[in-house]
Amino acid sequence: MSKDKQAQPDGAGATEDLGELDRMLAAAGSQTGTGEAARFGYVALIGRPNVGKSTLMNQLLGQKVSIVTYKPQTTRQRIAGIKTTREGQVVYLDTPGIHASAGRALNRYMNRVAKATFRDVEAVLFLLEAGRWTRQDRAISKLLAQLDIPVFLVINKVDTLDNKQDLLSYVQEVTQDHEYAEVLMISALKNQGVEELEQRVLERLPFSMPFYDEDQITDRSERFLAAEFLREALTLRLHQELPYSLTVVIEQFKRQGEVVHIHAIIWVERDSQKQIVIGKGGQVLKQIGRDARKALEELLGEKVFLQTWVKVSKDWSRSERMLERMGFDD
Protein backbone atom coordinates (compact mmCIF):
# COMPACT_ATOMS: atom_id res chain seq x y z
CA MET A 1 0.00 0.00 0.00
CA SER A 2 1.33 3.42 -0.94
CA LYS A 3 2.06 6.14 1.59
CA ASP A 4 2.13 9.91 1.21
CA LYS A 5 5.51 11.53 0.86
CA GLN A 6 7.11 12.98 3.96
CA ALA A 7 7.12 16.77 3.86
CA GLN A 8 10.46 18.31 2.88
CA PRO A 9 11.61 21.93 2.65
CA ASP A 10 11.61 23.32 -0.90
CA GLY A 11 14.93 22.57 -2.61
CA ALA A 12 16.09 20.11 0.11
CA GLY A 13 19.10 18.15 -1.10
CA ALA A 14 19.80 20.53 -4.01
CA THR A 15 23.18 21.62 -2.67
CA GLU A 16 26.00 20.00 -0.79
CA ASP A 17 25.60 22.48 2.08
CA LEU A 18 23.21 20.64 4.39
CA GLY A 19 21.82 23.77 6.03
CA GLU A 20 20.82 24.29 9.63
CA LEU A 21 17.89 21.86 9.55
CA ASP A 22 20.00 19.04 8.18
CA ARG A 23 22.71 19.63 10.80
CA MET A 24 20.11 19.48 13.56
CA LEU A 25 18.71 16.23 12.18
CA ALA A 26 22.18 14.74 11.85
CA ALA A 27 23.03 15.76 15.41
CA ALA A 28 19.80 14.20 16.64
CA GLY A 29 20.88 10.95 14.99
CA SER A 30 18.20 10.35 12.35
CA GLN A 31 18.56 6.61 11.92
CA THR A 32 17.71 3.53 9.90
CA GLY A 33 17.86 1.30 12.92
CA THR A 34 21.66 1.14 12.93
CA GLY A 35 22.36 3.95 15.36
CA GLU A 36 23.95 6.11 12.65
CA ALA A 37 22.80 9.37 11.09
CA ALA A 38 21.01 8.61 7.83
CA ARG A 39 19.78 10.28 4.67
CA PHE A 40 16.36 10.04 3.04
CA GLY A 41 14.87 11.14 -0.25
CA TYR A 42 12.86 10.40 -3.38
CA VAL A 43 14.71 9.95 -6.68
CA ALA A 44 12.98 9.73 -10.08
CA LEU A 45 14.17 7.54 -12.96
CA ILE A 46 13.31 9.49 -16.11
CA GLY A 47 13.88 8.81 -19.81
CA ARG A 48 12.30 7.79 -23.06
CA PRO A 49 10.85 4.26 -23.41
CA ASN A 50 13.23 1.29 -23.37
CA VAL A 51 16.38 2.97 -22.01
CA GLY A 52 16.63 0.60 -19.04
CA LYS A 53 14.84 2.38 -16.19
CA SER A 54 13.14 -0.75 -14.85
CA THR A 55 16.30 -2.84 -15.19
CA LEU A 56 18.20 -0.24 -13.19
CA MET A 57 15.46 -0.13 -10.54
CA ASN A 58 15.65 -3.89 -10.04
CA GLN A 59 19.46 -3.80 -9.84
CA LEU A 60 19.36 -1.04 -7.23
CA LEU A 61 16.94 -3.04 -5.09
CA GLY A 62 18.58 -6.42 -5.65
CA GLN A 63 15.08 -7.76 -6.28
CA LYS A 64 12.54 -7.66 -9.08
CA VAL A 65 9.81 -5.07 -8.57
CA SER A 66 9.45 -3.48 -12.03
CA ILE A 67 8.64 -5.78 -14.93
CA VAL A 68 11.12 -5.83 -17.81
CA THR A 69 10.58 -6.83 -21.44
CA TYR A 70 12.20 -6.13 -24.80
CA LYS A 71 9.19 -3.98 -25.74
CA PRO A 72 9.17 -0.20 -25.24
CA GLN A 73 6.40 1.25 -23.05
CA THR A 74 6.36 -1.75 -20.74
CA THR A 75 6.17 0.45 -17.62
CA ARG A 76 2.80 2.21 -17.51
CA GLN A 77 2.48 3.41 -13.92
CA ARG A 78 4.84 4.89 -11.35
CA ILE A 79 6.35 2.29 -9.03
CA ALA A 80 8.37 3.05 -5.91
CA GLY A 81 11.36 0.86 -5.07
CA ILE A 82 12.59 1.36 -1.50
CA LYS A 83 16.26 0.77 -0.69
CA THR A 84 17.28 0.92 2.99
CA THR A 85 20.94 0.69 4.03
CA ARG A 86 23.09 1.80 6.95
CA GLU A 87 23.64 5.13 5.20
CA GLY A 88 19.97 5.91 4.59
CA GLN A 89 16.78 5.18 2.70
CA VAL A 90 16.26 6.05 -0.96
CA VAL A 91 12.88 5.74 -2.66
CA TYR A 92 13.50 5.24 -6.38
CA LEU A 93 10.51 6.04 -8.59
CA ASP A 94 10.38 4.03 -11.82
CA THR A 95 8.30 6.01 -14.29
CA PRO A 96 6.77 5.37 -17.73
CA GLY A 97 8.90 6.46 -20.66
CA ILE A 98 8.09 9.98 -21.85
CA HIS A 99 6.69 10.08 -25.40
CA ALA A 100 7.32 12.92 -27.82
CA SER A 101 3.94 12.21 -29.42
CA ALA A 102 1.03 10.77 -27.47
CA GLY A 103 -2.01 10.05 -29.61
CA ARG A 104 -3.72 7.50 -27.36
CA ALA A 105 -5.20 8.26 -23.95
CA LEU A 106 -2.88 5.63 -22.47
CA ASN A 107 0.22 7.42 -23.81
CA ARG A 108 -1.04 10.76 -22.52
CA TYR A 109 -1.64 9.17 -19.13
CA MET A 110 1.93 7.81 -19.02
CA ASN A 111 3.34 11.24 -19.88
CA ARG A 112 1.31 12.85 -17.09
CA VAL A 113 2.53 10.31 -14.55
CA ALA A 114 6.18 10.74 -15.52
CA LYS A 115 6.09 14.55 -15.54
CA ALA A 116 4.14 14.77 -12.26
CA THR A 117 6.95 12.83 -10.58
CA PHE A 118 9.23 15.88 -10.86
CA ARG A 119 7.23 17.60 -8.12
CA ASP A 120 7.84 14.84 -5.58
CA VAL A 121 11.59 14.21 -5.66
CA GLU A 122 14.92 15.46 -4.37
CA ALA A 123 16.87 14.31 -7.46
CA VAL A 124 16.41 12.92 -10.97
CA LEU A 125 18.29 10.20 -12.83
CA PHE A 126 18.00 11.00 -16.55
CA LEU A 127 18.75 7.79 -18.44
CA LEU A 128 20.14 7.70 -21.96
CA GLU A 129 21.12 4.76 -24.12
CA ALA A 130 24.83 4.97 -24.96
CA GLY A 131 25.35 6.06 -28.57
CA ARG A 132 21.76 7.23 -29.09
CA TRP A 133 20.54 10.83 -28.82
CA THR A 134 17.01 11.05 -30.16
CA ARG A 135 14.41 13.75 -30.55
CA GLN A 136 12.66 12.37 -27.47
CA ASP A 137 15.90 12.54 -25.47
CA ARG A 138 16.41 16.19 -26.45
CA ALA A 139 12.85 17.08 -25.47
CA ILE A 140 13.25 15.47 -22.04
CA SER A 141 16.60 17.23 -21.55
CA LYS A 142 14.94 20.60 -22.15
CA LEU A 143 12.20 19.71 -19.70
CA LEU A 144 14.71 18.73 -17.01
CA ALA A 145 16.70 21.93 -17.53
CA GLN A 146 13.82 23.82 -15.88
CA LEU A 147 14.17 21.93 -12.58
CA ASP A 148 15.98 23.33 -9.55
CA ILE A 149 16.99 19.94 -8.14
CA PRO A 150 20.07 17.83 -9.01
CA VAL A 151 19.74 16.00 -12.33
CA PHE A 152 22.19 13.13 -12.88
CA LEU A 153 22.86 12.15 -16.46
CA VAL A 154 23.06 8.35 -16.45
CA ILE A 155 24.39 6.84 -19.67
CA ASN A 156 23.23 3.23 -19.72
CA LYS A 157 24.27 0.26 -21.87
CA VAL A 158 27.89 1.46 -22.12
CA ASP A 159 28.90 -2.19 -22.53
CA THR A 160 27.39 -2.07 -26.05
CA LEU A 161 30.00 0.48 -27.24
CA ASP A 162 33.40 -1.06 -28.01
CA ASN A 163 35.15 2.16 -28.97
CA LYS A 164 35.69 4.36 -25.89
CA GLN A 165 36.50 7.32 -28.13
CA ASP A 166 32.97 7.07 -29.50
CA LEU A 167 31.67 7.19 -25.93
CA LEU A 168 33.69 10.34 -25.20
CA SER A 169 32.33 12.05 -28.30
CA TYR A 170 28.83 10.99 -27.35
CA VAL A 171 29.16 12.47 -23.85
CA GLN A 172 30.36 15.77 -25.31
CA GLU A 173 27.37 15.87 -27.66
CA VAL A 174 24.70 15.19 -25.03
CA THR A 175 26.13 17.59 -22.43
CA GLN A 176 26.93 20.60 -24.63
CA ASP A 177 23.61 22.36 -23.95
CA HIS A 178 22.96 21.29 -20.36
CA GLU A 179 24.95 21.21 -17.14
CA TYR A 180 24.24 18.14 -15.02
CA ALA A 181 24.98 17.45 -11.35
CA GLU A 182 27.08 14.50 -12.51
CA VAL A 183 27.54 12.28 -15.55
CA LEU A 184 27.65 8.56 -14.73
CA MET A 185 28.35 5.56 -16.98
CA ILE A 186 26.59 2.28 -16.21
CA SER A 187 25.37 -1.00 -17.56
CA ALA A 188 22.22 -1.75 -15.58
CA LEU A 189 21.89 -5.18 -17.17
CA LYS A 190 25.42 -6.23 -16.15
CA ASN A 191 25.35 -4.28 -12.85
CA GLN A 192 28.35 -2.15 -13.81
CA GLY A 193 28.66 1.27 -12.19
CA VAL A 194 25.38 0.85 -10.30
CA GLU A 195 26.96 0.83 -6.85
CA GLU A 196 28.84 4.08 -7.54
CA LEU A 197 25.65 5.68 -8.87
CA GLU A 198 23.82 4.70 -5.70
CA GLN A 199 26.51 6.26 -3.50
CA ARG A 200 26.61 9.50 -5.52
CA VAL A 201 22.86 9.91 -5.25
CA LEU A 202 22.82 9.19 -1.52
CA GLU A 203 25.40 11.93 -0.90
CA ARG A 204 23.00 14.50 -2.38
CA LEU A 205 20.05 13.64 -0.13
CA PRO A 206 19.23 15.45 3.12
CA PHE A 207 19.56 13.93 6.58
CA SER A 208 16.09 12.83 7.64
CA MET A 209 14.15 10.09 9.37
CA PRO A 210 13.33 7.15 7.06
CA PHE A 211 9.70 7.06 6.00
CA TYR A 212 9.22 3.35 5.28
CA ASP A 213 9.92 0.22 7.31
CA GLU A 214 13.39 -1.08 6.49
CA ASP A 215 12.05 -4.42 5.19
CA GLN A 216 9.60 -2.75 2.75
CA ILE A 217 10.76 -2.72 -0.87
CA THR A 218 7.83 -1.10 -2.69
CA ASP A 219 4.73 0.99 -2.11
CA ARG A 220 2.67 -1.18 -4.45
CA SER A 221 0.27 -3.90 -3.31
CA GLU A 222 0.63 -7.60 -4.08
CA ARG A 223 -2.53 -7.30 -6.19
CA PHE A 224 -0.86 -4.62 -8.36
CA LEU A 225 2.32 -6.70 -8.73
CA ALA A 226 0.27 -9.75 -9.71
CA ALA A 227 -1.29 -7.79 -12.58
CA GLU A 228 2.14 -6.52 -13.66
CA PHE A 229 3.79 -9.96 -13.63
CA LEU A 230 0.95 -11.43 -15.70
CA ARG A 231 1.24 -8.54 -18.18
CA GLU A 232 4.98 -9.19 -18.40
CA ALA A 233 4.32 -12.85 -19.29
CA LEU A 234 1.85 -11.73 -21.94
CA THR A 235 4.27 -9.21 -23.44
CA LEU A 236 7.14 -11.70 -23.59
CA ARG A 237 4.97 -14.39 -25.22
CA LEU A 238 3.08 -12.25 -27.74
CA HIS A 239 4.48 -10.26 -30.65
CA GLN A 240 4.00 -7.21 -32.85
CA GLU A 241 1.60 -4.54 -31.52
CA LEU A 242 -0.64 -6.75 -29.37
CA PRO A 243 1.10 -6.02 -26.01
CA TYR A 244 0.14 -2.34 -26.38
CA SER A 245 -3.53 -3.29 -26.81
CA LEU A 246 -3.91 -5.35 -23.66
CA THR A 247 -4.03 -4.75 -19.94
CA VAL A 248 -4.68 -6.86 -16.85
CA VAL A 249 -7.17 -6.32 -14.02
CA ILE A 250 -7.07 -8.50 -10.89
CA GLU A 251 -10.62 -9.40 -9.86
CA GLN A 252 -9.68 -11.48 -6.83
CA PHE A 253 -6.56 -11.85 -4.70
CA LYS A 254 -6.96 -13.85 -1.52
CA ARG A 255 -5.16 -16.42 0.57
CA GLN A 256 -6.85 -19.70 1.39
CA GLY A 257 -4.71 -21.88 3.60
CA GLU A 258 -1.25 -22.04 2.05
CA VAL A 259 -2.38 -21.03 -1.45
CA VAL A 260 -2.82 -17.56 -2.97
CA HIS A 261 -5.85 -17.55 -5.29
CA ILE A 262 -5.70 -14.97 -8.08
CA HIS A 263 -8.43 -14.32 -10.64
CA ALA A 264 -7.37 -12.04 -13.50
CA ILE A 265 -9.07 -10.55 -16.54
CA ILE A 266 -6.95 -9.83 -19.60
CA TRP A 267 -8.54 -7.00 -21.56
CA VAL A 268 -7.90 -6.61 -25.30
CA GLU A 269 -9.40 -4.30 -27.93
CA ARG A 270 -10.49 -6.71 -30.68
CA ASP A 271 -12.05 -10.18 -30.99
CA SER A 272 -9.13 -11.16 -33.22
CA GLN A 273 -6.71 -10.20 -30.42
CA LYS A 274 -8.66 -12.36 -27.97
CA GLN A 275 -8.12 -15.38 -30.21
CA ILE A 276 -4.38 -14.66 -30.41
CA VAL A 277 -4.08 -14.48 -26.62
CA ILE A 278 -6.02 -17.70 -26.10
CA GLY A 279 -4.36 -19.59 -28.95
CA LYS A 280 -5.39 -22.86 -30.56
CA GLY A 281 -7.00 -25.05 -27.96
CA GLY A 282 -6.14 -22.48 -25.29
CA GLN A 283 -2.44 -23.43 -25.44
CA VAL A 284 -1.02 -19.88 -25.59
CA LEU A 285 -3.02 -18.71 -22.58
CA LYS A 286 -2.09 -21.84 -20.63
CA GLN A 287 1.63 -21.25 -21.22
CA ILE A 288 1.31 -17.58 -20.29
CA GLY A 289 -0.49 -18.61 -17.10
CA ARG A 290 2.28 -21.07 -16.22
CA ASP A 291 4.98 -18.43 -16.78
CA ALA A 292 3.14 -15.84 -14.70
CA ARG A 293 2.38 -18.29 -11.90
CA LYS A 294 6.03 -19.31 -11.63
CA ALA A 295 7.14 -15.66 -11.42
CA LEU A 296 4.48 -14.87 -8.81
CA GLU A 297 5.41 -17.86 -6.65
CA GLU A 298 9.01 -16.68 -6.68
CA LEU A 299 7.92 -13.15 -5.74
CA LEU A 300 5.46 -14.13 -2.99
CA GLY A 301 7.25 -17.23 -1.68
CA GLU A 302 3.89 -19.02 -1.71
CA LYS A 303 1.97 -21.44 -3.89
CA VAL A 304 -0.23 -19.60 -6.40
CA PHE A 305 -3.46 -20.73 -8.10
CA LEU A 306 -3.99 -18.42 -11.09
CA GLN A 307 -7.13 -18.27 -13.21
CA THR A 308 -7.38 -16.01 -16.26
CA TRP A 309 -10.14 -14.83 -18.58
CA VAL A 310 -9.79 -12.84 -21.80
CA LYS A 311 -12.38 -10.14 -22.54
CA VAL A 312 -12.81 -7.45 -25.19
CA SER A 313 -13.25 -3.71 -24.57
CA LYS A 314 -13.06 -1.91 -27.89
CA ASP A 315 -10.35 0.78 -28.01
CA TRP A 316 -9.97 0.87 -24.21
CA SER A 317 -6.51 2.44 -24.54
CA ARG A 318 -8.00 5.49 -26.29
CA SER A 319 -10.65 6.22 -23.68
CA GLU A 320 -9.91 8.27 -20.55
CA ARG A 321 -13.03 6.82 -18.90
CA MET A 322 -11.98 3.22 -19.54
CA LEU A 323 -8.47 3.92 -18.23
CA GLU A 324 -9.97 5.04 -14.93
CA ARG A 325 -12.17 1.94 -14.74
CA MET A 326 -9.13 -0.27 -15.30
CA GLY A 327 -7.12 1.31 -12.49
CA PHE A 328 -5.06 3.94 -14.31
CA ASP A 329 -5.38 6.69 -11.71
CA ASP A 330 -3.35 9.91 -11.88
Mean pLDDT (whole number) for 286-307:
95
Does residue 123 have a pLDDT over 70? Answer: yes
CA distance 300 to 307: 17
CA distance 194 to 207: 22
Mean pLDDT (whole number) for 160-173:
88
Does residue 195 have a pLDDT over 90? Answer: yes
Q: What is the pLDDT of residue 102?
A: 60
Contacts of 102 (CB under 8 A, 6+ apart): 108, 110, 111
Does residue 159 have a pLDDT over 50? Answer: yes
Residue extents of the structural domains in the chain: 19-203, 222-325
Highest mean pLDDT among 29-38, 146-155, 162-171: 146-155
Range in 35-49, 147-161, 218-232 with the lowest mean pLDDT: 35-49
What dihedral do alpha carbons 300, 3, 223, 218 form, nearest 10°? -40
In CATH, what class is 222-325?
alpha beta
Three-state DSSP state, 69: coil
Sign of the four-CA dihedral 141, 329, 69, 276: negative
Q: What is the pLDDT of residue 25?
A: 46
Name the residue among 150, 189, 169 with its Cα closest to residue 43: 150
Contacts of 93 (CB under 8 A, 6+ apart): 42, 43, 44, 45, 78, 79, 80, 81, 117, 120, 121
Mean pLDDT (whole number) for 19-37:
50
What does the DSSP 8-state code read for residue 230? Answer: H
Question: Cα–Cα distances in Å, from 212 out to 23, 81, 121, 142, 182?
Answer: 22, 11, 16, 33, 28
Task: State the DSSP H helix or E strand holding residue 265, giving kind and residue range, or none if neither.
Answer: strand 259-268
Cβ(92)–Cβ(57) below 8 Å: yes
pTM of this prediction? Answer: 0.82
| Mean confidence (pLDDT) of the chain | 86
Confidence grade of residue 14 (pLDDT, cut at 50, 70, 90): very low
Percent of the chain's residues with pLDDT above 70: 86
Cα-Cα end-to-end distance for the chain: 16
Confidence grade of residue 5 (pLDDT, cut at 50, 70, 90): very low
Fold of 19-203: Rossmann fold (3.40.50)
Contacts of 281 (CB under 8 A, 6+ apart): none
Confidence grade of residue 76 (pLDDT, cut at 50, 70, 90): confident
Does residue 200 have a pLDDT over 50? Answer: yes
Model confidence over 220-265: pLDDT tens digits? 999 999 999 999 999 988 876 677 789 999 999 999 999 999 999 9
Number of Cβ within 10 Å of residue 167's Cβ equals 16
Contacts of 108 (CB under 8 A, 6+ apart): 102
62: phi then psi, degrees, rounded to nearest 5? 70, 20
